[in-house]
Structures are given as C-alpha cells and as structure tokens.
Amino acid sequence: MKAGFYGEVVLNNLEPSAENFEAEFIAGLKKDPKILPCKFFYDENGSRLFDQICELDEYYLTRTETKILRDNIGEIASWCGRECILVELGSGQSSKTRLLLDQLESPVAYVPIDISRPHLIRAAEALNGDYYPLEILPICADYNCPLSLPAPERNPKRKVVFFPGSTIGNFEPLEAVEFLKRIGTWCVAGDGLLIGVDLQKHRQILDGAYNDSRGVTAAFNLNLLRRANRELGANFVLDQFRHRAFYDEGKGRIEMRLISESEQNVFVGKEKIGFRKGEFITTEYSYKYTIEGFSDLARAAGWQSERVWSDENRLFSVHYFSRKPEELYG
Ligand code: AVJ
C-alpha cells in the first residue's frame, strides 16, 4: 500500500457479459457485408496488443498526441481549471492521464471508464496514492451504453471529459454527433471536453500505421477470431484469414478487414457462417478529420470549440470544447 492511499479503489462493474459478445458477434457475421463492432478487440490479450501498437514507429498517433499534450500541458490544464473532476473514456493504461494529473490544480476526482476490466483495475491501482487526495472512481463499462457517473466526496468546480487516442474516429460521423450529445448530458454549461482527433493526411502514412511491418496490427485484428474461438466455441482457422487495413480517402476513414483466404464455413456455437474466397469482415472504422470538420461536428452536438493544438506536421489534433448553454445548441 502506498503512502497517502485514499482507501481501496472500488470498481463500479458494468462489464458487458459473454452473452452480449455472442449475440452481437453472430449478428454482425450474419450481416451482408459482414461487420463487427471494434469494442470486442479489447479482451486482455487485445488490450496488450493495442498497447504494443502504440509503441510502433509507424503508429504515429499515440506518440504525436502525447507530444502535443506534453508541449501544451500548462495551457490545457488551465482550460480545465482548478478542482475539476476528470472523466476519461477508454482509459486503458491511463498513461496520458498522468501528464494531465501532474499539471491540474487540485483535481477532485478521476473517473476512468474502460471495457477491459484487468486493464482498468491495474491502471487505477497504479495511480492510487500518487495523487492524494484525488479520488479514483473506476467504471468497467461499454461507454456506449447509458451509465451514470459516481458522485465524488468533494464538489468539483467543473467536469472535464477526456477522450484521447482518436477513439472518436471509431464512430461514423453521425454516430459521433449522437455520442458527443450523450456525453453532453453528463455536463452543464461551461464543462469541458478534451479530445484527441486524428487528422486526414497522405495515405502512405495511414497505410503504414494500420498495416505495420511487424504484424502487430494483424495480430490485434486476428485476435478477435481467437477470442471468438476461446469464448464462443467458434472454430475459425486463423491462417485462413488475413488482416488488411484499407484507406477510403473519399470517406476519410481506415477500414480494418479480416479477409477470408478461401471459401469456407465457420461455426460460432451452433451458427454456421459461410465465407466466399476474398470476402471480408469489417472489424473497425477509424475516421480521420480536418480540424474544421471536427469542430463543426462537435458544434452540432452542443460543444463550442475553444482551442485546438496540433503538432508541426499536422498529423494529429487535440481539442478543448466547452459545453454550450442549452439555448445555443445545434
Ligand atoms: C484506439 C480506436 C484509436 O483507430 O487507430 C489501432 C485502434 N486499430 N490500430 C485507431 C487501432 C488499429 C485505434 N483507436
């Protein structure tokens, strides 16, 4: 136990059930074309592989976002203000959070929300005590589902939702608007949204980031099938599927695919799923925005752009938005 320990970190557990995974997985494979939600990537193994992706030279996102945060952390912290409650979506290892927590003035509480329970607990426990008297209130949940935030012991002056990593890019733009509206329902006018957004750029850079030469992204993508084999009794033969990420420049999005190497049938429990040779499952969209495009999207969800930071090569952006008063929405 560390000095200044705030008591034990208590987990609020809304972890999605296995039945959930099974139903959504089968429903996705019965669609034509086949498509699965990317949240299922993040079992323990998948979360570890994602952390490895973040270390790759070709995966510029994490490194660049971290540098933007580090280079501007004083200004970012002053936008958040003193005694805020920081809510993080998809907190993972909470490594970017430390940059913020180191700089924030007397933050009241930190609420990390993540779908991967072991990951979340490890991260919350590692933070606990380091920022005493910061309260740490982790929630294991699919943040797409309705959830209510815990009340901290002390009253915060402002709520700031931190959504780094360009995870917002996993939503289709209209869904992203709906999502940012929903985040807004947790907030009052003047609350903040600090969000990382990947930018549109030359396709070669994107291609390399999502088809890395060491095959870590391939392993991450294929882990979805491995997980289905283990948890759902599916019988995917892993070398009968190949990873490929494709950049659709018109739509401004990366599409992660698992491509069937042959005509084959796969069982997921009792369900038989047929694949043609070359047929693929879309496993993730990762939208890339322009700064203006994303600011417009957020405005449509009731958020006013206050400040945008970027790197010198304009690879990535970090935005601070304020919640608009209700009469100014839209
Ligand atoms: C965590 C969703 C932002 O889209 O870049 C990394 C996930 N997928 N490599 C992304 C991911 C393939 C990542 N996000």
pLDDT in tens, 194-252: 999 999 999 999 999 999 999 999 999 999 999 999 999 999 999 999 999 999 999 99
Residue 4 lies in a domain: no
Mean pLDDT value of segment 281-308: 98
Residue 272 shares a structural domain with residue 319 = no
**From 7-11, 65-69, 86-90, 181-185, the region with the lowest mean pLDDT:** 7-11
**pLDDT for 3 beyond 50:** no
Ligand 1 geometric centre to CA of 148 (Å): 26
Residue 95 shares a structural domain with residue 123 = yes
- H or E element at residue 139: strand 139-141
Residue 42 shares a structural domain with residue 169 = no
Give the domain extent around 217: 17-56+205-287
Ligand 1 geometric centre to CA of 92 (Å): 12
Mean pLDDT value of segment 96-117: 94
Give the nearest ligand 1 atom to 170 CA.
2
Q: Provide the domain count of the chain.
A: 2
Residue 86 shares a structural domain with residue 197 = yes
Residue 171 lies in a domain: yes
Residue 3 lies in a domain: no
Task: Count CB atoms within 10 A of the CB of residue 161.
Answer: 25
Residue 70 shares a structural domain with residue 122 = yes
Probe target for ligand 1 pocket from 91, 119, 167, with the most ligand atoms within 8 Å of CB = 167
Residue 318 lies in a domain: yes
CA distances from 204 to 123, 165, 211 (A): 34, 20, 10
| Residue 29, token pair as written in the block | 């494979």
Is the backbone peptide bond immediately before 16 cis, with ω within 30 degrees of 0?
no
CA distances from 319 to 75, 119, 200 (A): 12, 26, 15
Provide the pairing of β-strand 84-89 with 109-114.
Answer: parallel
pLDDT in tens, 141-175: 988 888 889 999 999 999 999 999 999 999 999 99
At residue 44, the pLDDT reads: 87
Residue 232 shares a structural domain with residue 303 = no
Residue 213 C-alpha from the chain's centroid: 23
Residue 184 shares a structural domain with residue 277 = no
Residue 235 shares a structural domain with residue 137 = no
Residue 46 shares a structural domain with residue 96 = no
**pLDDT for 4 beyond 70:** no
Residue 162 shares a structural domain with residue 296 = yes
Q: Give me the long-range contacts of 247-250 (CB less than 8 A, separation at least 24).
A: 247/203, 247/206, 247/207, 247/210, 249/203
Measure the CA angle with vertex 85, ends 82 and 88; round to 5°: 125
pTM for the model stands at 0.94
Nearest protein CA to atom 10 of ligand 1, as residue: 286
**pLDDT for 2 beyond 80:** no
CB 241 within 8 A of CB 225: yes
Residue 76 lies in a domain: yes
- H or E element at residue 46: helix 44-55
At residue 330, the pLDDT reads: 57
Find the residues whose C-beta lies inside 6 A of ligand 1: 53, 61, 165-167, 169-170, 210, 217, 256, 284, 286
Residue 105 shares a structural domain with residue 231 = no
How sure is the predictor about 7, in pLDDT bands with cuts at 50, 70 and 90? low
Ligand 1 geometric centre to CA of 101 (Å): 24
**From 13-17, 44-48, 227-231, 262-266, the region with the lowest mean pLDDT:** 13-17
Q: Specify the CATH number for the domain of residue 158.
A: 3.40.50.150
Residue 277 lies in a domain: yes
Task: Count CB atoms within 10 A of the CB of residue 17.
Answer: 8
